[in-house]
Structure 1
Amino acid sequence: MTRRVLAAGHVNWDVTLRVDALPDPDGEARIESQHTAGGGSAANVAASLVGHDVDASILGSVGDDENGLLVRRELAEVGVDTDRLRVVDDGETSVKYLVVAASGQVMVLGNDGANEAVHPDDVDAGTVADVDHVHLTSQRPETAARLARLAADVDATVSFDPGRRLDSRDFSATIERADVLFLNGREAASVLGSEYANAPPTRGGLVVVKHGARGATVHKSTGSYEHPGFDVDAVDTTGAGDAFAAGFLAVVLGDAGINADRIERALEYANACGALAATSEGARTAPTRPEVEAFLEQRY
């Protein structure tokens, strides 16, 4: 059975600038290379899922400008269903400027543009009627919460990766309804406190904490699983977290929802996805299933 996943949230156009070092205030840096491509966490995950043999669609919004056309064309070319991608008349597609230093440090500049034009009233039962899983990323908290409720009504599972805006937005209603919650170490400390494994706040009780190059940990109420990650020559870690999330979901999603027996395999596979993504420039660099399997075979 082909799993059907709806990714909802930000859809951007990314401009990645590689510099020799991030400049100090009033300083200057030398641009060593420039790369443009589609971005946004929801779009990145959707595109990556297709590469893992998952039927993926995107819910988000772009402007009717040239960047929006490029975003839609790029997603369609890789096989993402864009029927739910809203095009805002006279809107400006959100553009993110990702400044990446040789050390791996990243600075993000951007405008919101048409990024959050999807309101709670714009989604209904039909939005999630034909999907098995909904992956939520940063967006209007009210929209995310409504999508999580609608998914529960049709017995679709939910994952949530709130991203950088977690500290400034109230996503508690969505977190409570999530089967899988993706966080980095800082976000985990903010949401869960120091004892991650004690009563995870999600419906499914599954919290995945990403540690970057140091791998990741999955916490359940009954225990935790760890994987140290893979040592690679990282070029650009932008989008590696999205590649990780897509890889984890591609393995852990079974015909009847979240398959707890696949957690350890999902963790290993997801870390391989993140590592491979970090070896290429840009946010939309997720590896495909054959590439990940070849990578793992070489490692063992």
Structure 2
Amino acid sequence: MVTVLTAGHVNWDVTLRVDNFPEPDGEAAIRLQRQSGGGSAANVATALAGLEVDTGLIGSIGDDDNGLLARRELEATGVSLDGLRIVEDADTAVKYILVDDAGEVAVLGNDGVNEAVRPDDIVPERIERATHIHLTSQRPETASRLARLASESGATVSVDPGRRLASRDYSDTIELADIIFLNDREVEAILEETYSVSEYSDRILAIKYGGDGAEVHTPTGSVHHPGFDIDPVDTTGAGDAFAAGFIATYLQTDDIERVLEFANACGALAASTEGARSAPTSSSVDALLAAQHEQ
């Protein structure tokens, strides 16, 4: 039985490590090039599988070579792909990710068919069998239907709308969410709208601050964790690893301090390794936490 379903983008990533982000009419040197699967929904799914959580994925890819590579990589992690739609004669979304020497990230890309899943494509029985649904960037109407089906079946819902929050209306989905993941820039985008953080006092709001850790606001209080002292190599996918760690631990305990510490450890380990699919295992997280507690 699938415990967690993730839904949203499935991409193929081309990562270019550069000496700097070029200015207009400028040039940067490529130090390293690598390719791997990407997309927030797929990243969280593989991270959850690495944390020994039974996980399934809802998303879409093309039937091209990049789609085949993405599918094979996901299958190798043990993620259930029953909800993955393969679109004939279509291109899988490709993202070109620039990573500078400080580990900062910039993204270029084409969307391909990573949003081919529409509300009518959703199989309700698949949602009803899950314990938790995690929603990432996708069509707002698709996310809303997934959230509503999950809520009606008694599953908990988390949402991480990502960088498109400012240009898309995810209000229906956010209203149904039990857990909302945002980074500091996305919180600012929410505050610029009609929302305020206080409006989410009846659910869990996790705000990520990158190298400065994260804080969680709950109906019973707030918790802050300063993060871990690491040398960032590539922050791509660190937020997805954080979400996976948070969800995996949240499903096991109501100790929010433990949940946040574990999530931060997952994000830190991901940021200290190349690639969006560098999500940690349970053993590597436990080792980092044990070392931290010994200090």
Partner of 1:293: 286
Identity %: 60
1:112-160 CA distances to partner (integer Å, 9 max, x unpaired)? 1011000011114223021100000000000000000000111011000
**Contact map agreement 1:124 1:150 (CA 8 A) in 2:** no
Structure 1 residues 192 and 177: alpha-carbon distance in aligned structure 2, compared to 1, 3 A threshold: farther
**Aligned letter for 1:159?**
S
Pair 1:200-2:193 in alignment: no
1:284 aligned to 272, 277, 282, which one?
Answer: 277
Quote the residue 1:253 is aligned against: 251
Cα offset for 1:105? 2.5
Contact 2:158–2:181 (Cα < 8 Å) also in 1: yes
Identify the residue that residue 188 of structure 1 maps to in structure 2: 187
The aligned residue for residue 176 of structure 2 is 177
**SS of 1:173 mapped into structure 2:** helix
Please give the per-residue CA displacement for 1:182-229, whole angstroms capped at 9, x wherever unaligned: 00011112225799762316xx51100000000000012332100000
Query: Could you tell me how far 1:111 is from its partner in structure 2?
Result: 0.3
Q: Give 1:3 deviation, angstroms.
A: 6.6
Q: How does 1:189-268 map to 2 (within 5 A)?
A: 189-192=188-191, 198-200=198-200, 205-254=203-252, 259=253, 261-268=254-261
Contact 1:6 1:134 in 2 (8 A): yes
- Secondary structure of the residue aligned to 1:61 is strand
Query: What is the aligned partner in structure 1 of residue 112 from structure 2?
Result: 113
CA contact (8 A) 1:199 1:205 kept: no
Residue 51 (structure 1) aligns with: 50
TM value normalised by structure 2: 0.95
Counterpart-to-counterpart distance in 2, 1:286 and 1:160:
19
Q: Is the 8 A contact 1:197 1:223 kept in 2?
A: no
**Distance (whole Å) between structure 1 residues aligned to residue 105 and residue 249 of structure 2:** 29
Deviation at 1:53, TM superposition (A): 1.4
Distance 1:212 1:192 in 2: 19
Compute the displacement of 1:262 (Å). 2.0
Q: TM-score, normalised by structure 1?
A: 0.94
Query: Unaligned 5+ residue runs, structure 1?
Result: none
The offset of 1:245, in angstroms, is 0.3
Shift of 1:271: 0.5
Contact 2:250/2:259 (8 A) holds in 1: yes
Structure 2 unaligned runs (5+)?
none
Paired position in structure 2 for 1:4: 3
CA distance in 2, matches of 1:154, 1:286: 30
> What is the CA-CA distance between 1:54 and the residue it aligns to?
0.6
Q: State whether structure 2 residue 89 is matched by structure 1 residue 96.
A: no
Is the Cα contact below 8 Å between 1:208 and 1:217 reproduced in 2?
Answer: yes
Cα distance in 2 for partners of 1:91, 1:43 equals 19
CA RMSD of aligned residues (A): 1.6
Regions of 4+ moved over 6 Å: 193-196
Aligned letter for 2:221?
G
